[in-house]
């Protein structure tokens, strides 16, 4: 069920000479989201270490992603505890299965 | 009970109300319990999120008669994110964070929801696609366009996104 990068994303180039800036920028956000397979991800990481321009772009999106995590709504722990208890009761067959 | 935090956040993103989110998670857990024999043991979070999607669709269908009875009723999803969020629930650290948050709130609903699921709730592209019942490619497209808009907003208000990284 995991999403895989489609074959037409020119993965072959990753193995021949490493990705170009265009190729890296196309996949940058998916890479930062952890959605790229390990091999191509290593090549993107290697490119970012060598290319100041692409690294600059990645840092902008990292800044935005990190900032967005601070927009996260705080979840009431009492709500989570109540839901955990509900789940436990289900597991212990305390509900009518009708 | 694993993944409860993610389930609750996702439920809240779908319903925009604490009580409804709690009901939706309970409904999801109950449906999962009843369907456990059909679960193949792989990808439990994705399985639960798919169940939640169906439970939410069912919930929306049941709500429709209420909306018809009360034409002024506002469907929860149209409630502005800001109305359910107060300063006690949002931590703002500096001008950059405040600007990013404002850029996020200004996004059209379809862009904002994918940002919410992926960046705020931590869902994968596939999980987001499953919950929203849209193709993965659509998730990616909306996500990338949403982030681009946030970046453009940052630059529009005079903050240089590149400068802030130095």
pLDDT digits (tens, 9 = 90+) for B84-130: 343 333 334 478 888 999 999 999 999 999 999 999 888 999 999 99
Residues of B in contact with A71 (CB under 8 A): 90, 97, 100-101, 104, 120
Q: How many angstroms separate the CA atoms of B10 and B43, rounded?
A: 17
pLDDT of residue A30: 95
* Per-residue model confidence (pLDDT) at position A86: 87
The interface predicted TM-score of the complex, written ipTM, equals: 0.72
Report the alpha-carbon distance of residue B18 to residue A39 in Å, rounded.
Answer: 42
Distance separating alpha carbons of residues A33 and B124, to the nearest angstrom: 8
Q: How many CA atoms, within 13 angstroms, populate the side-chain half-sphere of residue A9?
A: 17
pLDDT of B72 above 70: no
Where is pLDDT greater, at A78 or B76?
A78
In this complex, the residue of A3, A67, A83 whose CB is nearest that of residue B25 is A83
Digit-coded pLDDT (tens) for B1-60? 558 888 998 898 888 888 899 999 999 999 988 888 888 877 788 888 889 999 998 887
B-interface mutation test, from A55, A64, A82, A93, most B Cβ less than 10 A away:
A64
CA distance B54 to B31: 10
3-state SS class at B59:
helix
Sign, Cα dihedral of B39, B40, B41, B42: negative
pLDDT at B83: 38
């Amino acid at each position: 069920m995991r999403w895989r990068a489609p074959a037409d994303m020119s993965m072959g180039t990753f193995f021949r000479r490493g990705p170009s800036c265009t190729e890296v920028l196309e996949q940058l956000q998916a890479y930062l989201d952890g959605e790229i397979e390990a091999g191509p991800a290593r090549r993107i990481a290697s490119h970012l270490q060598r290319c100041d321009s692409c690294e600059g772009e990645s840092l902008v999106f990292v800044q935005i992603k990190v900032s967005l995590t601070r927009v996260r709504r705080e979840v009431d722990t009492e709500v989570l505890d109540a839901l955990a208890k509900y789940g436990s009761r289900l597991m212990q067959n305390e509900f009518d299965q009708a | 009970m694993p993944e409860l935090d993610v389930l609750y956040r996702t439920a809240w993103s779908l319903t925009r109300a604490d009580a409804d989110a709690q009901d939706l998670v309970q409904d999801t857990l109950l449906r999962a319990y009843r369907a456990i024999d059909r679960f193949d043991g792989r990808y439990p979070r994705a399985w639960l999120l798919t169940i939640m999607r169906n439970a939410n669709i069912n919930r929306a269908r049941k709500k429709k008669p209420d909306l018809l009875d009360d034409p002024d009723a506002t469907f929860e999803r149209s409630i502005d994110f800001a109305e359910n969020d107060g300063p006690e629930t949002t931590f703002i650290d500096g001008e950059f964070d405040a600007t990013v948050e404002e850029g996020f709130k200004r996004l059209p609903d379809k862009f904002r929801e994918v940002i919410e699921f992926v960046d705020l709730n931590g869902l994968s592209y596939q999980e987001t696609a499953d919950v929203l019942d849209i193709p993965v490619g659509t998730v990616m497209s909306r996500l990338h366009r949403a982030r681009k808009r946030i970046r453009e907003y940052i630059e529009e208000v005079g903050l240089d996104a590149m400068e802030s990284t130095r």
